[in-house]
């Protein structure tokens, strides 16, 4: 169910509120362009600055509009275990197909703390859980050994890996076997990730280029890495450009160029500089997304 190009969705804003109309239109566009799955309210969805009510509403709208056409993996992470459980339970009740749970940030638990955090969430719900391992943001790195322990639990099915360590895919494949779901968390290295045995990518770039990212993943899943490389060459400038400034500031600017939503983010994020706008426009032109 969870494979291919899965969009780490932005949350459209208008006058500092969630723009629900733009969100609905955006979801329909994503699915129409071939995206294989949706992740609302992750980091790209500005979850740190959404209220709990807004967070839950975005999940509900995504599930409603997707209407079973593609799987919805709801963001449900927190460095407060009780809060993560609440978000995960809501996602399950709303009809999400799975939840994405980031390793706890800031309070820096050890490996046993990580295990117990995920076990508590596992024990509280009945839908699949995907671990989100992203040391650049959360500081901590879940070990392969801890991941293997968690995979023994009934709901832990895989990982979104943003460690930037490509050997980790093979190490995790060796420890947990080919049924352990491995999704890349980095667009720029997704080609190599897939060649190592990955199953897909939870993608930021697919917000802007959903069809290209879906076709790229389909080539990878078919084992046609020569074809995938042609997509990589076309998309790589975009992968870099949208991260020149903090995510999702670049993505929202790019989407505003496509007329999909307003270029608005919430503090402490701010809009990008003119020089970064130039870089993004150039990358989008290279990919054939704008003239």
What DSSP element (H or E) covers 203? strand 200-203
Could you tell me which of 221, 224, 230, 145 has the C-alpha nearest to residue 184?
A: 221
C-alpha distances (whole Å) from 164 to each of 14, 118, 240, 253 are: 34, 22, 14, 25
SS3 (DSSP) at 110? coil
Could you tell me which of 91, 183, 196, 104 has the C-alpha nearest to residue 142?
A: 104
Long-range contacts formed by 12-20: CB under 8 A, 24+ apart:
12/260, 12/261, 12/262, 12/264, 13/46, 13/261, 13/262, 13/264, 13/265, 13/266, 14/262, 14/264, 16/264, 16/266, 18/50, 18/54, 18/57, 18/58, 19/261, 19/262, 20/57, 20/61
Q: Pairing relation of β-strands 13-14 and 17-18?
A: antiparallel
Of 115, 118, 132, 231, the active-site residue reads 132
Cα distance between residue 135 and residue 157, in whole Å: 20
Cα distance between residue 232 and residue 24, in whole Å: 29
SS3 (DSSP) at 131? strand
Q: Pairing relation of β-strands 200-203 and 17-18?
A: unpaired
* Residue 132: active-site member: yes
Q: What share of the chain is helix, strand, coil (3-state, %, to 5)?
A: 50, 15, 35
CA 194 from chain center: how many Å? 16
* Residue 118: active-site member: no
Q: Are 252 and 278 in contact (CB under 8 A)?
A: no
Of 56, 115, 118, 160, the active-site residue reads 160
Point out the residues that are catalytic. 132, 160
């Amino acid at each position: 169910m969870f494979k291919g190009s899965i969009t780490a969705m932005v949350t459209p804003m208008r006058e500092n509120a969630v723009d629900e109309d733009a969100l609905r239109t955006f979801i329909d566009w994503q699915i129409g362009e071939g995206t294989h799955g949706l992740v609302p309210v992750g980091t790209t969805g500005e979850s740190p600055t959404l209220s709990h009510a807004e967070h839950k509403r975005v999940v509900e709208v995504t599930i409603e509009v997707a209407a079973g056409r593609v799987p919805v993996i709801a963001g449900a992470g927190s460095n407060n275990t009780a809060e993560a459980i609440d978000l995960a339970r809501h996602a399950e009740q709303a009809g999400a197909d799975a939840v994405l749970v980031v390793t706890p940030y800031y309070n820096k638990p050890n490996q046993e703390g990580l295990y117990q955090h995920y076990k508590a969430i596992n024990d509280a719900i009945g839908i699949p859980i995907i671990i989100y391992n992203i040391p650049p943001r959360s500081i901590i790195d879940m070990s392969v050994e801890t991941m293997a322990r968690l995979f023994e639990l009934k709901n832990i099915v895989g990982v979104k890996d943003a460690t930037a360590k490509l050997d980790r895919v093979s190490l995790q494949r060796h420890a947990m076997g080919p049924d352990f779901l491995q999704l890349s968390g980095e667009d720029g290295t997704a080609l190599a990730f897939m060649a190592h045995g990955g199953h897909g990518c939870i993608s930021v770039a697919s917000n802007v280029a959903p069809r290209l990212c879906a076709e790229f993943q389909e080539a990878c899943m078919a084992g046609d890495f020569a074809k995938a490389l042609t997509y990589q060459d076309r998309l790589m400038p975009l992968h870099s450009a949208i991260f020149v400034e903090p995510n999702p500031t670049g993505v929202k600017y790019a989407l505003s160029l496509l007329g999909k939503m307003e270029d608005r983010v919430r503090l402490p994020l701010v809009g990008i500089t003119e020089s970064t706008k130039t870089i993004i426009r150039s990358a989008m032109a290279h990919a054939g997304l704008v003239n």
